[in-house]
Amino acid sequence: MAETTSDLAPEFGCVADCRSGSIWCQSCEDFIYDTEVDRVLRDTSKDLQRKDLLSKKRSMSEALAYADAEEASYLASNSNKRICGKDGMRGLYNLGQTCYMNVILQTLFHEPLLTTYFLGHRHRMYDCSESNCFVCQVAEVFAEFHEEKEEGFGVLNFLLSSWLSSPDLAGYQQQDAHEFYQFLVNKLHATAEDHVDGYEQKCRCFFHKAFFGKLQSSVTCHRCRNTNRTEDPIMDLSLAFQVQRKKKALHWIPGDSESTPSLNGCLDSYTAPEELPASDYNCSWCGTPQGATKQLRLRKLPVILCMQLKRFERHRSVSEKVDTKVAFPFSINMAPYTTSANSKNIFKYTYDLLSVVVHIGDIDSGHYLAYCRQGEQWFKFNDDRVTWATDAEVLDADAYLLFYTLRSLSGS
């Protein structure tokens, strides 16, 4: 076989077979070896092997073994991933201050259960008769994200659909990523074929099971010890860290890492008993105003758990953003914050970090970016710019929204 360098003479015609890597020289009438082409092929092969390793996930059947039988059966039957689907890492073009939308979509794109649902054609766009169907629009962007392409793309049709669905979103003004997430979840639930209207009824649609949980509020009278319990649906938790930060600041010791507010500390404060004065509570059993103790607990956890850190505060006519760092873990056991706080089944309550949404700038202007996990690797999504991210970089981010996904159903 003839051999040449990478600087092939332009007057000699060469034909390359991209599948085998072979190069045929029309002048030599023989296969030739090119060192530069060989290097490129070796590097490309290594990249493909690395991506293949990162994209491997634990099988759905193994993950579902730890989940509630009824819930697992329903979610699994509605989440069959298309075999030819690709685990994409594509950016999204900013269509005019639409970074708030991009970070939420990137978060959902990387959630395993939603990916298997939409790529498994559980919502059949070709059979859907609904005019301007919102679920169809979401299914379309999921499909486009997982195409065999690497360049960024724009979700103009989805943006216009969201504008039509919510006049508050229409236009190119600044929007809040948390509010957009709430809009998106509510819209998916409302347009699901088998959804049930009204929170007092039990809805069994896929999106309700994936996004919604239940929060229980218990108020115990100090006099008669009667406890009044109410339940409300939730799609996220809004956690304050200002009180935790101020308490730690009063007892701060140089070099003490515990002076940094933490997500667990926020959850502890959120579910801690709160004393209510008699002026704020009228006991239904005693029939008179009495002092009472109120406590919030999670009655039911969603598969996708969104936690908002309250960084935007408004005091009368003054608004400000709090830039304090809040520490958060890669995985968290939510059992201590539920009505089953003493449960030994940690698999049922263990969540893994899926996405970290960061807001850069002040309260009136700024920019959103997101860190999302793909397999075991983290990526930074800054609109259409996608870069690798280290674990340390993710944990050091000033999180505004934290998305965790249930380990027993996500395949993490």
Q: Are 267 and 337 in contact (CB under 8 A)?
A: yes
Whole-angstrom Cα distance, residue 96 to residue 122?
32
Interacting residues of 50 by C-beta distance below 8 A, sequence separation 6+: none
Structure tokens at 184: 């998106």
- Strands 399-406 vs 350-361: parallel, antiparallel or unpaired: antiparallel
The 3-state DSSP composition of the chain as helix, strand, coil percent (nearest 5) reads 35, 25, 40
Q: Are 288 and 221 in contact (CB under 8 A)?
A: no
Q: Are 234 and 296 in contact (CB under 8 A)?
A: no
The closest of 33, 41, 43, 39 to 8, measured between CA atoms, is 33
Whole-angstrom Cα distance, residue 234 to residue 306?
10
Q: Tell me how crowded residue 1 is: count the other CB atoms within 10 A of its CB.
A: 7
CA distance to 91, 154, 400, per residue, from 94 (Å): 9, 7, 20
Residue 168 DSSP label: T
- Residue length, the chain? 412
Which member of 110, 195, 367, 372 is catalytic?
Answer: 367
The closest of 51, 110, 109, 123 to 80, measured between CA atoms, is 123
Which residues is 219 bridged to in the sheet? 228, 294
The closest of 324, 339, 404 to 112, measured between CA atoms, is 404
Catalytic residue at 99? yes
Q: Are 339 and 299 in contact (CB under 8 A)?
A: yes
List, as one string, the DSSP characters of 385-412.
Answer: EEEEE-HHHHHTS-EEEEEEEEHHHHT-
Which member of 99, 136, 205, 266 is catalytic?
Answer: 99
Q: Which sequence positions are flagged as catalytic?
A: 99, 367
